[in-house]
Amino acid sequence: MSTLIDGKALSLSLKEQMRDRIVELEAKYGRKPCLAVIIVGDNPASRSYVRGKIKAAEFTGMDSRLVELPEDVSQDGLLDVIAGLNAEAAVDGILVQLPLPKHIDEDKVIDSIAIEKDVDGFHPQNVANLWLGRKCIVPCTPKGIITMIESTGVDIQGKKAVVIGRSNIVGKPVAKLLLDRNATVTIAHSRTKDLAKVAAEADILVAAVGRPKMVTADMVKPGAVVIDVGINRISVPGPDGEPVNKLVGDVDFDAASQVAGYITPVPGGVGPMTITMLMENTIECFLNRQ
């Protein structure tokens, strides 16, 4: 039986430390860090993520601002809002909740955020700095994953790490962060041959795919650290037989937890840590701007 990496508990303790830090920062600099979150439209999942981010900001005591724009806002309209926040001295971090409606070019939006306020770390300059090994804002989910792995006390150096998924927001940056910590990293994806064999060699296995329970117990090396990034909504029979929605990860938790050394749950794993790292990044942007 594996040890649970409790993202919720770890997040809470980090946010409590940040609360004290923000009191100190306000005393020293005369203002608190401020995060601005922009949401376009009414996507329920996006609304729920944004609520979580604002709630976390309130918990830490930092200032926050929610900018809600209608689904049919024009691209120029959104870019104007971002330009306004870029220019505002009191705003330290700007996050545009993705995905955006089809008529808006996400790349243009990401490129328009002032680099020093890019709390998500998605700006091309930030991405370049990450890959060049220069100082940068590290994207929140990968940063949270590394923090969780490090919380186990397992030394990443020299370990075989397999990352399943090669997205710009999770797979690629987490692979780079593991490489920076001297793991030997394999990035697997939809064209990888014999994924089960590749995964089963991993001392550290990160699943960032978006396919419910695709990582089965036979894909997990005994004692491995397993990080489940996936957030999948599936329908299961409820107590009265009616279908109810359930959140599951990319890992078959019940089976994999019999084999892994450490494993993250879904929910309560990478999700809360992503939000907590956003708070850390906001503080970092604030400090960089002082």
Question: Does residue 191 belong to the site contacting ligand NDP (CB under 6 A)?
Answer: yes
DSSP 161-180: EEEE---TTTHHHHHHHHHH
Decide if residue 211 touches ligand NDP (CB under 6 A).
yes
Our answer to whether residue 53 is catalytic in this structure is yes
Pick the binder of ligand NDP from 13, 190, 235, 288 (CB under 6 A).
190
15, 92, 97, 118: the active-site residue? 97
Q: Residue 61 CB, nearest distance to ligand NDP (Å)?
A: 23
122-141 binders of ligand NDP (CB under 6 A): 141
Smallest CA-to-CA distance from 113 within 104, 125, 101 is with: 125
Q: Count residues near ligand NDP (CB under 6 A).
A: 25
- Clarify whether 97 is annotated catalytic: yes
How far apart are the C-alpha atoms of 95 and 102, rounded to whole Å? 18
Cis-peptide into 101, omega within 30 deg: no
Least CB distance to ligand NDP at residue 162 (A): 11
The binder of ligand NDP chosen from 14, 113, 195, 263 (CB under 6 A): 195
- Residue from 135, 189, 197, 233 in contact with ligand NDP (CB under 6 A): 189
The answer to whether the Cα torsion of 258, 259, 262, 266 is positive or negative is negative
The catalytically annotated residue of 92, 118, 120, 203 is 120
> Are residues 275 and 56 in contact, defined by beta-carbon separation less than 8 angstroms?
yes
- The two three-digit tokens of residue 184, written as one number: 């030997």
Beta strands 34-40 and 63-69, pairing class: parallel
What minimum distance in Å lies between the beta carbon of 188 and ligand NDP? Answer: 6
Shortest CA distance to 109 belongs to which of 72, 67, 77, 78? 78
In the residue annotation, 107 being an active-site residue is answered as no
Site string for ligand NDP, 149-188 (x = CB under 6 A): ---------------xxxx-xxx----------------x
Longest dimension (CA), the chain: 58
Q: Does 209 contact ligand NDP by CB under 6 A?
A: yes
- Angstrom CA distances, 56 to 18, 130, 140, 179, 233, stand at 11, 26, 14, 30, 23
Binder of ligand NDP out of 111, 232, 255, 268 (CB under 6 A) = 232
Residues that bind ligand NDP (CB under 6 A): 141, 164-167, 169-171, 188-192, 195, 208-211, 229-232, 270-271, 274
Q: Which residues are catalytic?
A: 53, 97, 120
